Structure 1
Amino acid sequence: MDLNWTYYSPKTPAERVLIVGPSLGGNAAHQWTKVAAELIDDVRVVFVDLPGGGLGAVWDDADSPSLDTLAAGFAQVADEVRADLGEDVPVYFAGLSISGATALHLARDYDKTFAAVAVVASSAKVGEPERWLERAEAVDERGTQHLVEETTKRWFTPNFRAEHPATVDTIMEGLASTDDHSYAQLCRALAEHDMREDLGLIRIPVMMIAGERDTSTPLANVEAVAEGVLRGALHVVDGAAHLVPVSHPVQVAGLLRGMVDRPLASRVVPESGD
C-alpha cells in the first residue's frame, strides 16, 4: 500500500523522525499541525494520510482491508524517509484513533523499523466487528456526510466546539470529503482489528495517550494495553475527548517529546487540561 506523506518542516534537523497518522475520516495536517509546531526543534514530523482522506489516494481494492495492510504502508513510509534522510535516523510513530490501533501492529511486526510508538485514543480492540461492518455498508450507501453530526459530538467536547468553531468546521469538512469507499474499507479493517492476544509479543516502548472524556475509547481498554505490553506507559489528558491532538496539542507534544527523549517505564500519569 502506497500512502501519501509529506514533511511538516523540511528544514528541521533530521536527527529524529516522528511519523503521524490521522483518525478515520481525518486529515493528518489538520489533526497534527499544532503538535508538529510544538515539536519543531525536537523531531522532523512526517504527515501521512490514510486512503481516501486528505491528499491520500483512494483505497486500492487489490489491498485487503486490514490494519496489517495499513501497517505495511506506514512501514514503507518509514523506509522512504530513511532513504531520504539516512538509514541511521531513528523513526517514531504516533497514530490517532485508527492510526493508533495500527501503531500496535507496527510495534508487533516492525520493531526494527520503529524505535517506539504512541497510541492516541485507541486500543487493542476498537468497538464490535458488527458495528464496523454496519457502518461500512451505510457509508457505501449514503456517504460520510451523514456521519458528521454524530461524529462531531464524539470527537470534541461541548466547550471546545463552542470556543473553536472554525477548527471544528475544518476537521469535519475533512470527514465529509473523505472518499466513501475508502472510509468503508477502513471500517472493515477495524472490524478485524484485535491485538489483545498479541500484546505480550510487543517489545518496543508503547505510549498510550487517552482523552479523559473520550466516549469512543473506554479507559479500561487503554489501560489493558499499557499493562499488557512489556514497556508501556499510560497518560490520561484531562478534559480531552477523542481528538486529543487537536484539542490539547501542547500536552500531546510534551508527551511525545518525552517518548523520543527517554525510555518508557510502566506508569499511569494524569495530564492536566487547558
Structure 2
Amino acid sequence: MELNTTIYNRARPAERVLLVGPSLGGNAAHQWTKVAAELIDEARVIFVDLPGSGLSEPWDDADEASLDTVAAAIADIARGQKEELGDVPVYFAGLSISGAIALHLARDYDDLFAGVVVVASAATVGEPARWLVRADQVEATGTQQLVEETVKRWFTADFRAQQSATVDIIMEGLSATEDHSYAQLCRALAIHDVRGDLPYIQTPIMMIAGERDASTPIANVELVAETAPRGELHIVEGAAHQVTVMRPVAVAGLIRQMLGRPRWNRVVSESSD
C-alpha cells in the first residue's frame, strides 16, 4: 500500500516531522490545515491521505483489511522522511480512524515515532458488527447516504450554523471517498482492538478528546491514557468529533507541547481556543 502525501510547509527548516491523518471518509488537508498553520514553524507537517480519499489510490484487495496494513504504509512514509532529512524525530497525529492507526504505530514502530497524538479515538472504536453492516451498506449504496447522519455526530449544531461553508467542505470529503476503500476501512475498524497491548507501549501517546464527542465514549479514551505507561489525556471544551476542525488552535497548542518533549507524565486537562 502506498499513500498519497502532501507537505504543507516544505520551505521551512525541518528539525522534526509531523505526519497527520484524517477521519474515516475525511480529507487530511481539509481537516488539518488550520492546525498545520499554527505549527508552521514547529515541524514539517505532512498530510497523509487514507486509501480512496484525497489523492490516494483506492484500496488494493491484495492488502489485508486491517489497520496494521495502513500503519505499515505510514511507517514507510516516516522512514522516507528520515532518509531525506536525517535522524529527525517523527510524530504522527491522527483524527478518528487515523487516531486508531496511531496506536498501531505506537505499538509496532516505536523505533520510528517519537510520539503519537490520538484525536477522538481509542483502543477500540464502536461495535464490530455495526462496522461490518456499514461496510456492506456502503458497498451497495455509496458514502453519500451517510452524510446527513454523520454531520450531526461530527459537529455541534452551533458550529454547523456558524461555519456552514467549513462543514460543507468536510462533508464533501466523505461524499467523494471511494466506496470500496471506505468499506475496507470499516472492516479494519471491526477488528481494531489494542487494549491488551497498551501496558507494553513505550511510545508517548497524547490522547485528545472532544468534550461533546458522542462518537467516542470518554471512558474508552481514559482507558488508553491510564493504561499506556506514557499516556496523557486532554479534553477540548465544546468540541464534537471533528476536534481539529472545530478547535484547531487548541489542538495545535497541545501538539506543540509534546513536540520534542523527551519524557512526560500523565496529565488530564481541559483546553479551549
Shorter-chain TM band: over 0.9
What is the rounded CA distance, in whole Å, between the counterparts of 2:79 and 2:20 in structure 1? 15
* 8 A contact 2:89–2:260 mirrored in 1: no
What is the rounded CA distance, in whole Å, between the counterparts of 1:165 and 1:103 in structure 2? 30
What is the rounded CA distance, in whole Å, between the counterparts of 1:68 and 1:202 in structure 2? 15
Deviation at 1:264, TM superposition (A): 2.3
CA deviation map 1:159-180 (0-9, x unaligned): 1111111100000001001000
Q: Bigger shift: 259-268 or 230-239?
A: 259-268
1:172 equivalent in alignment to 2:171: yes
Which runs of 5 or more structure 2 residues have no equivalent in the other structure? none
Partner of 1:239: 238
What is the rounded CA distance, in whole Å, between the counterparts of 2:85 and 2:47 in structure 1? 16
Partner of 1:116: 115
Partner of 1:51: 51
Deviation at 1:261, TM superposition (A): 3.7
Q: Give the TM-score of the pair, scaled to structure 1.
A: 0.98
Amino acid in structure 2 at the alignment position of 1:245: T
SS at match of 1:65: coil
1:202 equivalent in alignment to 2:205: no
Partner of 2:227: 228
Q: Give the TM-score of the pair, scaled to structure 2.
A: 0.98
CA deviation map 1:65-115 (0-9, x unaligned): 0011111011011111222222x1110010000000010000000000000
What is the rounded CA distance, in whole Å, between the counterparts of 2:200 and 2:52 in structure 1? 31
SS at match of 1:19: strand
Q: Cα RMSD over matched residues?
A: 0.7
Q: Bigger shift: 5-14 or 180-189?
A: 5-14
Q: How does 1:48-197 map to 2 (within 5 A)?
A: 48-86=48-86, 88-197=87-196
- May I ask how many residue pairs the two structures share in their alignment? 272
What is the rounded CA distance, in whole Å, between the counterparts of 1:194 and 1:162 in structure 2? 36
CA deviation map 1:132-165 (0-9, x unaligned): 0000000000000000011100000111111111
Which runs of 5 or more structure 1 residues have no equivalent in the other structure? none
After the TM superposition, which segments of 4 or more aligned residues of structure 1 sit over 6 Å from their partners? none
Amino acid in structure 2 at the alignment position of 1:59: W
Partner of 2:28: 28
What is the rounded CA distance, in whole Å, between the counterparts of 1:260 and 1:216 in structure 2? 27
SS at match of 2:117: strand
What is the rounded CA distance, in whole Å, between the counterparts of 1:265 and 1:45 in structure 2? 25
Identity %: 68
What is the rounded CA distance, in whole Å, between the counterparts of 2:75 and 2:6 in structure 1? 15
Amino acid in structure 1 at the alignment position of 2:205: V
What is the rounded CA distance, in whole Å, between the counterparts of 1:264 and 1:161 in structure 2? 36
